[in-house]
Structure 1
Amino acid sequence: MRALVQRVHEARVTVAGREIGAIGAGLLILVCAMAGDDEDRADALAAKIAKLRIFRDDEGRMNRSLLDMGGSALVVSQFTLAADTSRGNRPGFSAAAPPDEGKRLYEHFSAALRAQGIHVANGEFGADMDVSLVNQGPVTIWLEV
């Protein structure tokens, strides 16, 4: 699985003008299930993100995790993280998991974060979404398990 993680002051997602998910301080997680991924990979990615030390401690160093600071996560499915741009100018997405499998693993990933004790808000799988955020830092990290 792949994820692009952004440390945020706040983030929200809307579909057709209706807000469906929002968080305060925490992480916006854009996530993509890749062909061949399974629940173990979703669990490993959730555990890695929950413990990723990218929040400031009292001395201003990135030394605290999402769990440590009690933050929330906004999880948004994004199959375009599977983009292959090695040939031509039009990305290919064949490395992404098929939609049914991608949705199942997206939901499993969100549940795995919740099981870590993190408050999770979600986007809508497969929908045309508008995502807004206030990136803190900015801190943006690419992860793959």
Structure 2
Amino acid sequence: MRALIQRVSEASVTVDGEVVGETGPGLLVLICAMQGDGEAEADRLAAKISKLRIFKDDGGKMNRSVLDSGGGALVVSQFTLAADTRRGNRPGFSTAAAPAEGERLYEYFAARLAGLGVKTATGQFGADMQVRLLNDGPVTVWIDTEDA
């Protein structure tokens, strides 16, 4: 699985003019299931993200996790994280999981993150979403379970 994590002051997802998910201070997690991914990758990724120390401590150093800081997470599916740009100018997405499996793993990941104690909201899988965020820092981290 791949995730692009952004530390945010706030973030929200709107579908058809209606806010379907939002968080205050915490994380925006853009996530993509890749072919061959399963629950083990989602479990590892959720555990890693819940403990990732990218929030400031009292000394201003990034020493606190989203759990330590009491923040939340907005999890948004984004198959475009599977983009292959090696040939031509149009990205290919053939390495992304099939839609049904991608949705299953997206929902599993969000539930797992919530199960670890992170207040979790989600977007709407497969929808045309408008994502608003206010970056904090900015701090942006890329994680691919193939490399982690």
Q: What TM-score bracket applies, with the shorter chain setting the length?
A: over 0.9
1:112 and 2:99 correspond? no
- RMSD in angstroms over aligned alpha carbons? 0.3
By how many angstroms is 1:70 displaced? Answer: 0.8
By how many angstroms is 1:103 displaced? Answer: 0.2
C-alpha distance in 1, partners of 2:114/2:141? 21
What amino acid sits opposite 2:29 in the alignment?
Answer: I
Aligned residues: 145
Structure 2 counterparts to residues 19-38 of structure 1, below 5 A: 19-38=19-38
What amino acid sits opposite 2:13 in the alignment?
Answer: V
C-alpha distance in 2, partners of 1:81/1:132? 18
Gap runs ≥5 in structure 2: none
Scaled by the length of structure 1, what TM-score is found? 0.99
What amino acid sits opposite 1:88 in the alignment?
Answer: G
By how many angstroms is 1:80 displaced? Answer: 0.1
Scaled by the length of structure 2, what TM-score is found? 0.97
What amino acid sits opposite 1:2 in the alignment?
Answer: R
- Which residue does 1:130 correspond to in 2? 130
- List structure 1 runs of 4+ shifted beyond 4 angstroms: none
1:17-63: per-residue Cα shift (whole Å, max 9, x none)?
11001110000000000000000000000000000000000000000
C-alpha distance in 1, partners of 2:41/2:22? 26
1:95 and 2:105 correspond? no
Identity %: 67
By how many angstroms is 1:3 displaced? Answer: 0.2
Structure 2 counterparts to residues 1-145 of structure 1, below 5 A: 1-145=1-145
C-alpha distance in 2, partners of 1:93/1:126? 14
Gap runs ≥5 in structure 1: none
